[in-house]
Amino acid sequence: MAGVRVEGLLKKFGNVTALDHVSLEFEDGQLTVLVGPSGCGKTTLLRIIAGLEDATGGSVFIGHEAVNQVPPWERNIAMVFQSYALYPHMTVFDNIAFPLRARKISKAEVKQRVEQTAALLGLSELLQRKPRQLSGGQMQRVALGRAIVRKPEVFLMDEPLSNLDAKLRVEMRAELKRLQKDLGVTTIYVTHDQAEAMTMADKLVVMRGGVIQQMGEPEEVYSHPRNTFVGGFIGSPAMNFIRCSVDCAEAELHAPDFQCKAPSRFVEALRRRGKDSVILGVRPEDLKVLASFEEGAVPATVYISEPMGKEMLLTVEVGGALAKAITPTNVRPRIGETVWLTFDEACVHLFDSETDEALPTE
Amino acid sequence: MSAKLSHRYRTQYTYLMQTVVTILIAVFCLTPMFYILSTSLKPRGAEYMIPLELWPSKPTLQAYRAVLGIVEEAELASESKGSMVLPADQARIVKSLSFVTPLRNSLIVSSAVAAFSLLISSLSAYAIARLRFRYKIQSLIFLQLGAMIPIAVTIAPTFMLMRSLGLLRTLLAMIIPNIFYNVPMSTWLIACYFAELPFDLEDAAKVDGYKPIQIFWKVIIPLAAPGLFSAGVFAFLGSWGEFMLASAVSMGIPAVQTVPAAMLNFSVQFRYEWTWISAAIILSVALVAFMTLVFQRWVIRGLTAGAVKY
Ligand SMILES: Nc1ncnc2c1ncn2[C@@H]1O[C@H](COP(=O)(O)OP(=O)(O)OP(=O)(O)O)[C@@H](O)[C@H]1O
Ligand SMILES: [Mg+2]
């Protein structure tokens, strides 16, 4: 087993820059999740690590070995493709056995390992079927089986759960995480589903436009997003942003409709910065909705309310912009009604209005 | 309701007309074949009987045995009365006319052509469908241009080439040129199949530990099998019926003649023996007809697979 390191990776497709000087370290035995919007270069990064694509610049290390010149069939990496990529002319058994057969392993051992893997994934009954006779979830598990039947140095998983229904996806992500912990193989997992990213990751890497935005433990990324993009991308529903002007003298923030005290941990930074506007970020789960006025509460008009079972997702209009809040179901305001919002200043995020970077705290 | 009815009426009418036209065409095409089949089943000399028999009253495989050289002396003696060939010559002629050799030669030529043109064109099709290289489209067009030159134009240079190579009067002189006549079409057919295979399969196999040439044999070829198959049938049928080159390079030597060339010889040599000629025709068509019937499913799939690509 081995960690993976990429240094200054650059990848251009014609004049599209898919990866822009990406440097990352994937620690040995950890599950690192790559997350980002469509087209941000996640698949490209995986394909370069697997050796399926040549980098325009930079290097890839597996363990301590630079592998730029090593072809994919010699890298000892297992990859789960977004499209499953099962061999249609082979049975489930042969699909799972295929990587073993490339490695001069005895027939008896191939059989034993395939059957063991199939049992682990609940595929024992399906070994003689062809891929076209399987459901999406079953094909998914065959694709996983083909990866885990070997003992590779690294797992690369490209949105392996994206084609499953919601229930199966939640089940499988727990299974997958468990499996990864049992096997202890360094894993790089790509998704654009931020919930999957949060729940599975030991380390979370957020990408945008071929550039790493932030890397860290999921809780860290969630509670201290480095910029508005990360703040908006991690967490669901997305963080609310309101542009405010800054009153340094009073340490106050002025939004179009309301004003509030600047949290004390930001005061020093606001003062040093000396700019007169800032972006205020509050997560929907940190917004509290009140039916009547309280000291410091901000008035808002209910735009739409969406019950989600345990909670209610409320969209409200504040100062000409829409904001989302999560409330307990016992608060049931009607459309057009006025409600009052408050938030704890400990939960507030401030970002520079020009660079979108988070302001430093004390 | 009435619109629905008239629609159904119209489709039924169309169906009826289609069937009638199909039957007419089939009758038109198959009548000569039918008469040849019927003649081949008549006893020797019966083809001259008036009134003409549409179907022999006593069908016999005599003509087939004669053509295949398995006629017994006794049978010859009893049959020879009223024949135009003297009994003494019969045995000698029958030995020499055996149609077995051309059938065997044709099988060898066509199988070799099918096998080797498949080998070459599957590799070239892979390059065209999968690899990135400069002038790809140009080379594809160039290849297809080669297929558009009629054999009549290339026959003289090919003949001279085969002579310089010392291959005249051998089967190789038919096999080698026929392989190249077939490569453009086969390449095209197979490339269309390859182009439809997802790239991820090859990438998956690479990650699974296979080198490109192994992937070609273990993943690509099995998945393109129907395409390869129809390309193979085309190559087989094409070289089976090839006459011009075959008769030129075999130079009248019976031992190296394929069916079409031998057929010419045969019908000149035995121009009054219509039962024999008919039997020879039926034999040479039967194998091809059989193959076509059995494999037409694949052939049709092969032809339509490429319809929407490129
Ligand atoms: N073979 C290619 N040729 C040209 N451009 C490409 C190629 N592959 C990827 N790109 C471009 O590179 C960028 C990154 O693509 P990539 O597939 O890595 O995105 P992704 O993050 O995996 O997106 P998704 O979440 O949609 O799968 C995109 O702008 C894409 O259009
Ligand atoms: Mg992708």
Residues B27 and B167 in one domain: no
Test site for ligand 1: of A12, A42, A205, most ligand atoms within 8 A of the Cβ? A42
Let me know whether B52 and B163 are in one domain.
no
For position B255, what pLDDT does the model report? 84
My answer on whether B106 and B92 are in the same domain is no
Asked whether residue B10 is domain-assigned, the answer is yes
Mean pLDDT, range A174-196, rounded to an integer = 90
As for how many domains chain B has, the answer is: 2
Instruction: Decide if B133 is inside a domain.
Output: yes
Nearest to A52 among B206, B222, B223 (CB): B206
Q: What is the mean predicted confidence (pLDDT) over A52-61?
A: 94
Last residue of a domain, one of B96, B112, B139: B96
Ligand sitting nearest the alpha carbon of A37: 1
How much is the pTM?
0.79
Question: What DSSP line would sit under A125-155, residue for residue?
Answer: GGTTS-GGGS-HHHHHHHHHHHHHTS--SEE
**Within-domain flag for B75:** yes
Cβ neighbours around B214 below 10 Å, total:
14
Distance B83 CA to ligand 1 centre (A): 82
Strands A203-208 and A57-62: unpaired
Ligand 2 centroid to Cα of residue A210, in Å, is: 12
The larger pLDDT score, comparing residue B294 to residue A12, is at A12
Question: Is the separation of the CB atoms in B192 and B310 below 8 Å?
Answer: yes
Report pLDDT for B308.
36
Same domain, B216 and B132: yes
User: Which residues of A touch chain B, with CB atoms under 8 Å apart?
Assistant: 47, 50-52, 71-73, 75, 77-79, 81, 83, 85, 87-89, 98-99, 102-103, 146
User: Å from A203 to nearest chain B CA?
Assistant: 25
Peptide bond into A237 cis (omega under 30): yes
Q: Is the pLDDT of residue A186 over 90?
A: yes
Q: Which residues pair with A314 in a beta bridge?
A: A305, A325
The predicted pLDDT at position A253 comes to 87
Q: What is the CATH number of the domain that holds B267?
A: 1.10.3720.10
pLDDT at residue B14, rounded to an integer: 87
Q: Which residues of A touch B211 (CB under 8 A)?
A: 71, 73
Question: Is B270 a member of any domain?
Answer: yes
- B306 pLDDT band, cuts 50/70/90, is very low
Chain A contact set for B207 (CB, 8 A): 50, 52, 72-73, 75, 77-79
A52, A103, A154: best to mutate for the B interface, most B CBs within 10 A: A52
Contacts of B209 in chain A (CB under 8 A): 73, 99, 102-103
* Cβ–Cβ below 8 Å for B206 and A81: no
Residue nearest to atom 2 of ligand 1 (CA): A13
What is the Cα–Cα distance from B70 to B64, expressed in whole angstroms?
9
Does residue B131 sit in the same domain as residue B270? yes
Ligand 1 atom nearest the C-alpha of A207 is: 21
pLDDT score recorded for residue A213: 96
Q: In this predicted structure, what is the pLDDT of residue B175? A: 94
Q: Which of B96, B114, B131 is at the close of a domain?
A: B96
Give me A322's structure tokens.
């829409």
> Helices A136-148 & A166-183, crossing angle to 10 degrees?
10
- The verdict on B38 and B90 lying in the same domain is yes
Interchain proximity B207–A98, CB inside 8 Å: no
- Tens-digit pLDDT profile for residues A97-135: 999 999 889 999 999 999 999 998 889 999 999 998 888
**Mean pLDDT comparison of A158-167, A294-303, A349-358, highest-scoring range:** A349-358
- Measure in Å the smallest separation between the Cα of A68 and chain B Cα atoms: 15
Contact B204 A81 (CB under 8 A): yes
Report the gap between the CA of A230 and the closest CA in chain B (Å).
31
A:B CB pairs within 8 Å: 54
Q: Provide the residue range defining the domain that includes B30.
A: 2-96
Measured between alpha carbons, how far is A170 from A200 in angstroms, rounded to an integer? 11
Distance A54 CA to ligand 1 centre (A): 14
pLDDT in tens, B115-124: 999 999 999 9
Give me the residue from B205, B214, B223 closest to A88, CB to CB.
B223
Residues of B in contact with A54 (CB under 8 A): none
pLDDT of A209 > 90? The answer is yes
Q: What is the pLDDT of residue A2?
A: 85
Residue B4 has pLDDT above 60, yes or no: no
Q: What is the pLDDT of residues B63-78, one digit of tens each?
A: 888 888 776 555 555 5
d(CA A216, CA A32): 9
Residue B309 belongs to some domain of the structure:
no
Residues of chain B found within 8 Å of residue A85, distances taken between Cβ atoms: 198, 200-201, 203-204
End-of-domain residue from the set B96, B129, B149: B96
Cis peptide bond upstream of B51, omega within 30: yes
Q: Are residues B117 and B56 in the same domain?
A: no
B300 in the same domain as B263: yes
Nearest CA distance, B126 vs chain A (angstrom): 18
B289 & B179 share domain: yes
Same domain, B92 and B116: no
Considering the domain architecture, whether residues B288 and B209 belong to the same structural domain is answered as: yes
- A337, A220, A15, A150: which is closest to B204 by C-alpha? A150
Higher per-residue pLDDT: A74 or B130: A74
Cα atoms found within 13 Å of the Cα of residue A361, Cβ hemisphere only: 14
For residue B4, give how far its alpha carbon lies from the nearest alpha carbon of chain A (Å).
38
| B19 within domain boundaries | yes
Instruction: Answer yes or no: is B46 within a domain.
Output: yes
Q: What is the mean pLDDT of residues A207-214?
A: 95
CA of A166 to the centre of ligand 2 (A): 19
Tokens representing A122? Answer: 């609940």
Residues B224 and B144 both lie in one domain: yes
Distance A39 CA to ligand 2 centre (A): 7
Residue B262 has pLDDT above 70, yes or no: yes
- Inform me whether the pLDDT recorded for A268 exceeds 70: yes
Q: What is the CB < 6 Å shell around ligand 1?
A: A 13, 16, 18, 36, 38-44, 192
Do residues A271 and A265 make contact, with C-beta atoms less than 8 angstroms apart?
A: no
Task: For residue A158, report the distance from its CA to the centre of ligand 2, in Å.
Answer: 7
